[in-house]
Structure 1
Amino acid sequence: MSVLILAALLIDLLVGDPRCLPHPVVLMGSLIQKCEALIRKTATDATALRIGGVLLVIAVCTVTYFITQGLIWLAGTVHPWLGLAVHLWLLSTTLAVKSLHQHARAVAEPLARGDIVTARQKVSLIVGRDCENLNEREITRATVETVAENTVDGIVSPLFYAFIGGAPLAMTYKAINTMDSMIGHRHQDYLYLGWAAARLDDLANYLPARLAGVFYSFLSIGSPGGFTSTVRAVLRDAPAHPSPNSGIPEAAVAGALGIQLGGTNYYRGEASHRPFMGKEKYPLTYRHIQQALHLTYGVTALTVLAGVLVRFVLESRF
């Protein structure tokens, strides 16, 4: 399994998500939309919507797991190598190292040229906040926060579950994360329907986020912010974040780079204040985007190394 995961990571780094191939997340999104439409036809009150949300989560996770397992098995009956190839491809689609790099660089490059308009357009593709009036500092903050959060959602967590249960479990995690993105937010329309998806996503990311915090802290030795600032930021600031998990990588990146994240965001014109993460030693500039990506690469490497070592020890003993 470890070799398969390493190969999947290599494919993601080299190829990413080619547009010529269908991406499983698109299919997951379609399934979630259909389930939501079906539930809303029959659920008319808060209790019914909560129950419907629980059933939606169970249905999507079950379908995702067994379809993934079935595809691998079916391909394997044709030829073992085909089964491995399908498993490898499915694993690679759960990872987002190259995609995260491309989207972050797409913001950093126009910022480096002083092209704020293009940078606003690019950052609007990866964040949900209003971007029309963001300056360089706020564009950088939005991008660095996204890089930090997606290091867990798009890399550490999928790897964590891949090492435990291969592509079926990693793909199930992606289904959970996709449900949270689509229906797990706090908008009034999804307050009850999305409750189960949001709570399950919190649970699924609980351990990976804390592992990422440990890895970020290790990597912060010799960083601009330093190890002590990183640990302090995680312990002091992360608990104040509205998410039980997202605050950990954001605070860790802020501490490691000696910058401050958080502040006031606007969503559809309405202000939303997020607690500050880290103490500002250095003013935010576009260069911090690349520095945040460097930390992401390090966290990815440490996650893989830890997974390989744990599996090796367990397989040697049992």
Structure 2
Amino acid sequence: MGRGTALGMALGVVLDAAVGDPRRGHPVALFGRAAGALERKLYGDARGRGVAHVLICVGSAAALGVAAEWATRRRPVARAVVTAAATWAVLGGTTLGREGRTLAGALESGDLAAARRRLPHLVGRDPSGLSAAEMARAVVESVAENTSDAAVAPLLWGAVAGVPGLLAYRAVNTLDAMIGHRSPRYARFGWAAARLDDAANLAPARLTGLLAAACAPVAGGSPARAAAVLWRDGHRHPSPNAGRCEASFAGALGLTLGGRNVYAGRVEHRPEMGDGRKPSPPDIHRAVRLARAVSVSAAALAVATRALIAGRAG
């Protein structure tokens, strides 16, 4: 069955590359609606209620994955199909690249209004007062961080734990996006979602940093320089994980990332990472190219790892 899982993961990666995310009825969106409905029933300004919410949501996703693998335990073709569907559902690298290129096109054409309307699809910061250069930085930083969340992390968890790992990781990451931010409503209720997401991304974010350094030449960069910036600056970000991705991308692209960010009226000053100039709109294309190379490399590693596990088990 392990070989069926490996084949299914490979097919899911190809499917994501070919079609990306559907505009309507995406399984992750359906999960988000269910999680939101549960939140309305469980919400309270207390960590315990947030823990219960996370346990039910993530536990249900993992249980669905376990049930799918049990149902296909003697049917290798069905296992491959189920794994391919799960892999496609949890990956978002193709859509991430499309969003990045769309924003790059708007910025390069000078249509700042269109870019400001589109920017919230990728980042949480307030776009209303951002210049073209500031929006370019926001997009590059988002592409860097989300390469881990949308591609490397789900693939790594799929390699380790099959379909349950794929679904459970996407549930964790979706909950963090929904309730894991610091706000009066979610400071306590969202604590468990945020901390679990941090834990789930510790290894994937560092793997993303290493792969971005290795793939730096596809964006005109130097692996040695990217690795040096990753080592020097990766820990400076307030997130235990995002900094590893952003620092490595900064080094690979020869840019400086970080600075002043505005989130719904709240100003945050992020440490700068890298030694180069600030990003400009054309750099978004280079970031997307680097993200694609990292995603393909992660997919190859994940499929090979799963096949190796199957070989040893069989």
State whether TM-score is above 0.5.
yes
Q: For the structure 1 residues 284 and 19, does the alpha-carbon distance in structure 2 shift closer, same or farther, using more than 3 Å as the test? A: closer
Q: Secondary structure at the match of 1:262?
A: strand
CA shift, 1:60, in A, is 0.8
Q: For the structure 1 residues 228 and 33, does the alpha-carbon distance in structure 2 shift closer, same or farther, using more than 3 Å as the test? A: same
* Correspondence for 1:12: 16
Q: Secondary structure at the match of 1:276?
A: strand
Q: For the structure 1 residues 117 and 258, does the alpha-carbon distance in structure 2 shift closer, same or farther, using more than 3 Å as the test? A: same
1:204 matched to 2:200? The reply is yes
1:248 matched to 2:251? The reply is no
* Deviations 1:132-177, CA, capped at 9 Å, x for gaps: 1211111110101110111000000010111122222111100000
CA shift, 1:34, in A, is 2.5
* Correspondence for 1:37: 40
CA shift, 1:232, in A, is 2.3
* Correspondence for 1:289: 284
Corresponding letter in the other structure for 1:116: L
1:23 matched to 2:26? The reply is yes
CA shift, 1:286, in A, is 1.2
* Correspondence for 1:145: 141
- Whole-Å Cα distance in 1 between the matches of residues 187 and 127 of structure 2? 25
CA shift, 1:82, in A, is 5.2
CA shift, 1:68, in A, is 3.6
Write the mapping of 1:182-221 to structure 2, written as runs, cut at 5 A: 182-221=178-217
State which of 293, 299, 302 in structure 1 corresponds to 2:297: 302
Q: Secondary structure at the match of 1:169?
A: helix
Q: For the structure 1 residues 86 and 221, does the alpha-carbon distance in structure 2 shift closer, same or farther, using more than 3 Å as the test? A: closer
Q: Secondary structure at the match of 2:127?
A: coil
Write the mapping of 1:59-74 to structure 2, written as runs, cut at 5 A: 59-71=56-68
1:51 matched to 2:48? The reply is yes
TM-score (norm 2): 0.91
- Whole-Å Cα distance in 1 between the matches of residues 162 and 310 of structure 2? 15
* Correspondence for 2:93: 97
Check whether the contact 1:124–1:131 (CA below 8 A) recurs between aligned residues: yes
Q: Secondary structure at the match of 1:265?
A: strand
- Whole-Å Cα distance in 1 between the matches of residues 265 and 57 of structure 2? 33
Q: Secondary structure at the match of 2:267?
A: strand
CA shift, 1:309, in A, is 3.1
Check whether the contact 1:72–1:84 (CA below 8 A) recurs between aligned residues: no
Check whether the contact 1:73–1:83 (CA below 8 A) recurs between aligned residues: no
Q: For the structure 1 residues 72 and 259, does the alpha-carbon distance in structure 2 shift closer, same or farther, using more than 3 Å as the test? A: same
Q: For the structure 1 residues 221 and 15, does the alpha-carbon distance in structure 2 shift closer, same or farther, using more than 3 Å as the test? A: closer
* Deviations 1:259-283, CA, capped at 9 Å, x for gaps: 1111101122232111111112x44
Check whether the contact 1:5–1:91 (CA below 8 A) recurs between aligned residues: yes
Q: Secondary structure at the match of 2:201?
A: helix
Q: Secondary structure at the match of 1:120?
A: helix
CA shift, 1:285, in A, is 1.5
Aligned pairs, number: 308
- Whole-Å Cα distance in 2 between the matches of residues 91 and 67 of structure 1? 14
CA shift, 1:81, in A, is 4.8
Check whether the contact 2:104–2:284 (CA below 8 A) recurs between aligned residues: yes
- Whole-Å Cα distance in 1 between the matches of residues 227 and 68 of structure 2? 43
Check whether the contact 1:234–1:248 (CA below 8 A) recurs between aligned residues: yes
Q: Secondary structure at the match of 1:239?
A: coil
- Whole-Å Cα distance in 2 between the matches of residues 267 and 297 of structure 1? 28
Check whether the contact 2:222–2:252 (CA below 8 A) recurs between aligned residues: yes
CA shift, 1:316, in A, is 3.5
Check whether the contact 2:218–2:293 (CA below 8 A) recurs between aligned residues: no
State which of 158, 166, 174 in structure 2 corresponds to 1:178: 174
Q: For the structure 1 residues 297 and 222, does the alpha-carbon distance in structure 2 shift closer, same or farther, using more than 3 Å as the test? A: closer
Q: Secondary structure at the match of 1:243?
A: coil
CA shift, 1:19, in A, is 3.0
Q: For the structure 1 residues 19 and 70, does the alpha-carbon distance in structure 2 shift closer, same or farther, using more than 3 Å as the test? A: farther
* Deviations 1:85-137, CA, capped at 9 Å, x for gaps: 34322220100121111111110111121222212211122211110121111
Which has the higher relative contact order, 1 or 2, with Cα contacts under 8 A spaced 6 or more apart? 2
* Deviations 1:24-66, CA, capped at 9 Å, x for gaps: 21222123223322223xx46xxxx111111111111111112
CA shift, 1:244, in A, is 0.3
Corresponding letter in the other structure for 1:299: V
- Whole-Å Cα distance in 2 between the matches of residues 80 and 308 of structure 1? 16
1:2 matched to 2:6? The reply is yes
* Deviations 1:282-305, CA, capped at 9 Å, x for gaps: 442111111111111111122122
- Whole-Å Cα distance in 1 between the matches of residues 26 and 70 of structure 2? 19
Check whether the contact 2:97–2:292 (CA below 8 A) recurs between aligned residues: no
